[in-house]
Chains A and B, each alone.
Chain A
Amino acid sequence: MAEAHALTKKDFKSDQDVRWCPGCGDYAILNCVQGIMAAIGVPKHQICFVSGIGCSSRFPYYMNTFGFHSIHGRAPAFATGIKTANPALSVWMVTGDGDGLSIGGNHMAHILRRNVDVKILLFNNEIYGLTKGQYSPTSPQGLKTKTSPMGSVDRPMDPVSFALGCGATFVARTIDTHQKHMEQVLLAAANHKGAAFVEIYQNCVIFNDGAFDAFTEKSVRDDKTIDLRPGQPMVFGKNHDMGIKIDGWEPVICPAAEAQTWRSDTHSPGPAFVMSQMDSNPQLPRPIGIFRDVQGPVFDTQIHEQIQRARAAKGPGSLEKLIYSGETWTVK
Chain B
Amino acid sequence: MTQSSARDAEMPLQHFESVVIRFAGDSGDGMQITGNQFTHTSAVIGNDLATFPDYPAEIRAPAGTRPGVSGFQVRFSSSDIHTPGDQPDVLVAMNPAALVVNIRDLKPGGIVVVNTGQFADSDLKKASLTSNPLADGTLSGFRVIEIDINKRVTEALKGTTLSSKEVQRCKNFYTLGLMYWLYHRPLETTIKWLEEKFAKRPELAEANKLAMQAGYNAGDIHELFQGRYEVLPCTSMPPGTYRNIMGNDALAMGLVAGAHLAGLQPFLGSYPITPASGILEALASYKNFGVITFQAEDEIAAICSALGAAYAGCLGFTTTSGPGIALKTEAMGLAVSVELPLVIVNVQRGGPSTGLPTKTEQADLLQAIFGRNGEAPIPVIAASTPADAFETAVEACRIAVQYMTPVILLSDGYIANGAEPWMLPRIEDLKPFPVKFVEPNPEGGFLPYARDAKLARPWAKPGTPGLEHRVGGLEKAHLTGNISYDPDNHEFMVRMRQNKVMGIRDSIPTPNVFGDSTGDVLVVGWGSTHGAITSAIEELRKKGRKVGSLHLRHVWPLPKDLDKIMACFRSVLVPEMNLGQMARVLRSEYPQQNIISYPKVQGQPFRTNELVKKIESLLEK
Say if the beta carbon of A330 comes within 8 Å of chain B. Answer: yes
Say if the beta carbon of B309 comes within 8 Å of chain A. Answer: yes
Knowing A82-B311, A328-B242, say if A70 contacts B334 (CB, 8 Å). Answer: yes
Residues 41-83 of chain B, each 1 if its beta carbon lies under 8 Å from chain A, else 0: 0011010000000000000000000000000000000000000
Assess whether B301 is in contact with A107, with CB atoms less than 8 Å apart: yes
**Interface window among A220-228, A230-238, A265-273, A302-310:** A302-310
- What is the CA–CA distance of A53 and B334 in the complex, to the nearest angstrom? 12
- What is the CA–CA distance of A110 and B46 in the complex, to the nearest angstrom? 49
- What is the CA–CA distance of A2 and B424 in the complex, to the nearest angstrom? 49
B189 to chain A, nearest CB (A): 7
CB-CB under 8 A from A64, the residues of chain B are 468
CB-CB under 8 A from A71, the residues of chain B are 304, 330-331, 334, 473
A316 to chain B, nearest CB (A): 6
Say if the beta carbon of A50 comes within 8 Å of chain B. Answer: yes
Cβ-neighbour of B304 out of A74, A84, A319 (below 8 A): A74
CB-CB under 8 A from B33, the residues of chain A are none
Say if the beta carbon of B425 comes within 8 Å of chain A. Answer: yes
Cβ-neighbour of B242 out of A77, A79, A318, A329 (below 8 A): A329
Cβ-neighbour of B464 out of A45, A65, A109, A324 (below 8 A): A45
Assess whether A331 is in contact with B238, with CB atoms less than 8 Å apart: yes
Assess whether B256 is in contact with A68, with CB atoms less than 8 Å apart: no
Say if the beta carbon of B278 comes within 8 Å of chain A. Answer: no
B80 to chain A, nearest CB (A): 12
**Interface window among A85-93, A143-151, A190-198:** A85-93
Residue of chain B at shortest CB distance from A3: B465
- What is the CA–CA distance of A147 and B18 in the complex, to the nearest angstrom? 69
Assess whether B292 is in contact with A307, with CB atoms less than 8 Å apart: yes
- What is the CA–CA distance of A69 and B473 in the complex, to the nearest angstrom? 7
Assess whether A16 is in contact with B265, with CB atoms less than 8 Å apart: no
- What is the CA–CA distance of A182 and B267 in the complex, to the nearest angstrom? 36
Cβ-neighbour of B294 out of A68, A81, A106, A323 (below 8 A): A81
- State which residues 43-94 of A face B: CB under 8 Å: 43-46, 48, 50, 53, 60-61, 63-71, 74, 76-82, 84-86, 88-89
Residue of chain A at shortest CB distance from B483: A61
Knowing A67-B469, A69-B472, say if A81 contacts B243 (CB, 8 Å). Answer: no
CB-CB under 8 A from B472, the residues of chain A are 60-61, 67-70
- What is the CA–CA distance of A64 and B312 in the complex, to the nearest angstrom? 17
A-B contact count (CB 8 A): 217
- What is the CA–CA distance of A2 and B463 in the complex, to the nearest angstrom? 13
Say if the beta carbon of B509 comes within 8 Å of chain A. Answer: no
CB-CB under 8 A from A5, the residues of chain B are none
Assess whether A80 is in contact with B294, with CB atoms less than 8 Å apart: yes
CB-CB under 8 A from A309, the residues of chain B are 287
Say if the beta carbon of B207 comes within 8 Å of chain A. Answer: no
CB-CB under 8 A from B292, the residues of chain A are 84-85, 303, 307
Assess whether B241 is in contact with A329, with CB atoms less than 8 Å apart: yes
Assess whether B474 is in contact with A69, with CB atoms less than 8 Å apart: yes
Say if the beta carbon of A22 comes within 8 Å of chain B. Answer: no
Count A interface residues, CB 8 Å: 65
CB-CB under 8 A from A14, the residues of chain B are 470
Residues 2-44 of chain B, each 1 if its beta carbon lies under 8 Å from chain A, else 0: 0000000000000000000000000000000000000010011
- What is the CA–CA distance of A310 and B291 in the complex, to the nearest angstrom? 10
Assess whether A332 is in contact with B239, with CB atoms less than 8 Å apart: yes
Say if the beta carbon of A317 comes within 8 Å of chain B. Answer: yes
Knowing A74-B304, A329-B44, say if A324 contacts B465 (CB, 8 Å). Answer: no
Assess whether B253 is in contact with A68, with CB atoms less than 8 Å apart: no
Cβ-neighbour of B470 out of A53, A69, A74, A324 (below 8 A): A69
CB-CB under 8 A from B307, the residues of chain A are 70, 78, 81
Say if the beta carbon of B306 comes within 8 Å of chain A. Answer: yes
Say if the beta carbon of A282 comes within 8 Å of chain B. Answer: no
Residues 133-169 of chain B, each 1 if its beta carbon lies under 8 Å from chain A, else 0: 0000000000000000000000000000000000000
- What is the CA–CA distance of A61 and B472 in the complex, to the nearest angstrom? 9
Residues 281-307 of chain B, each 1 if its beta carbon lies under 8 Å from chain A, else 0: 000001111111010111011101111
Say if the beta carbon of B308 comes within 8 Å of chain A. Answer: yes
Assess whether B464 is in contact with A322, with CB atoms less than 8 Å apart: no
CB-CB under 8 A from A247, the residues of chain B are none
- What is the CA–CA distance of A283 and B510 in the complex, to the nearest angstrom? 76
- State which residues 265-321 of A face B: CB under 8 Å: 303, 306-307, 309-311, 313-320
Residue of chain B at shortest CB distance from A80: B305
CB-CB under 8 A from B473, the residues of chain A are 53, 69-71
Of A78, A81, A86, A318, which is in contact with the most chain B CB atoms at under 10 Å from its CB?
A: A81
Assess whether A70 is in contact with B253, with CB atoms less than 8 Å apart: no
Say if the beta carbon of B466 comes within 8 Å of chain A. Answer: yes
- What is the CA–CA distance of A50 and B311 in the complex, to the nearest angstrom? 11
CB-CB under 8 A from A66, the residues of chain B are 462, 467-470
Assess whether A77 is in contact with B305, with CB atoms less than 8 Å apart: yes
Say if the beta carbon of A6 comes within 8 Å of chain B. Answer: no
CB-CB under 8 A from A109, the residues of chain B are 297
CB-CB under 8 A from A60, the residues of chain B are 470, 472
CB-CB under 8 A from A326, the residues of chain B are 243-244
Residue of chain B at shortest CB distance from A19: B483
- State which residues 66-115 of B face A: CB under 8 Å: none
- State which residues 305-331 of B face A: CB under 8 Å: 305-314, 316, 330-331
CB-CB under 8 A from A48, the residues of chain B are 312, 462
- What is the CA–CA distance of A306 and B287 in the complex, to the nearest angstrom? 7
Residue of chain B at shortest CB distance from A64: B468
Say if the beta carbon of B499 comes within 8 Å of chain A. Answer: no
Say if the beta carbon of B427 comes within 8 Å of chain A. Answer: yes
- What is the CA–CA distance of A151 and B261 in the complex, to the nearest angstrom? 59
Say if the beta carbon of B260 comes within 8 Å of chain A. Answer: yes
CB-CB under 8 A from A323, the residues of chain B are 253, 257, 424-425, 427
CB-CB under 8 A from B435, the residues of chain A are none
Cβ-neighbour of B309 out of A1, A67, A82, A324 (below 8 A): A82
CB-CB under 8 A from A45, the residues of chain B are 462-468
Cβ-neighbour of A2 out of B441, B462, B482 (below 8 A): B441
A-B contacts, 28 of them at CB < 8 A, read A45-B463, A48-B462, A60-B470, A65-B468, A66-B462, A66-B469, A67-B471, A70-B304, A70-B473, A77-B300, A80-B301, A81-B267, A84-B267, A84-B294, A85-B308, A85-B313, A88-B463, A307-B290, A307-B291, A311-B290, A314-B288, A316-B289, A319-B257, A319-B260, A322-B253, A323-B425, A329-B43, A331-B235
B binding-site residues for A, Cβ under 8 Å: 40, 43-44, 46, 189, 234-235, 237-244, 253, 256-257, 260-261, 265, 267, 269, 286-292, 294, 296-298, 300-302, 304-314, 316, 330-331, 334, 338, 424-425, 427, 430, 441, 461-474, 482-483
